[in-house]
Amino acid sequence: MSLQLSTIVRNAALDAIQYGANTGQTTGIGASAKMMFFTGAVPANCAAANTGTKLAEFDLASNWMANAASGAKSLSSTPLSAAAIAAGTLGYFRAFASDGVTCHVQGIVTATGGGGDLTVDNTVVANGQTINITGFGINAPGA
């Protein structure tokens, strides 16, 4: 028998990423979160140090992700844009608490349609170039 979770439980788990155990409480990633893009491969886990060169930093709104529905959670609006602070090829992203240090979510960045955890309009960027996030979503397991 394989484990299955109801949609309500899956949605609650996804909303905890942003808000903590009680929706509306900012004990998860919380308000004023930051998303940063780096070159290279994704670190082994969120507790590992950043690797590669930081290419961009996005300041996220307090409601940067929409409420979970049907076991899925996505950005509240796209595209989100920020200017690159260095030149290079985007490899991975990390979502941090407002301190910019505590990583809570990380994944692979690809161009739109490339199948990454987060997609952008262009993965090869020049210093000062605008980077547009075109998609990001998380699906809870156990449907």
Residue 22: both structure tokens together: 């009680």
Does residue 23 sit within a domain?
yes
* Number of domains the chain contains: 1
Task: Name the maximum alpha-carbon separation found in the chain.
Answer: 52
Write down the pLDDT at residue 22.
Answer: 53
Q: Is residue 90 part of a domain?
A: yes
Residue 28: both structure tokens together: 């998860």
User: pLDDT of 34-54, one tens digit each?
Assistant: 999 999 999 999 999 999 999
Task: Judge whether 137 and 75 are in contact, CB under 8 Å.
Answer: yes
pTM of the model: 0.88
Rounded average pLDDT per 10-residue block, the chain, 143 residues: 85 82 59 92 97 95 88 87 97 94 95 95 97 93 76
Range of the domain at 55: 7-139
Is residue 2 one of the residues assigned to a domain?
no
CB 26 within 8 A of CB 20: yes
Per DSSP, the residues of 102-116 read: -EEEEEEEEETTS--
| Domain annotation covers residue 25 | yes
Q: 3-class secondary structure for 22-57?
A: CCCCCCCCCCCCEEEEECCCCCCCCCCCCCCCEEEE
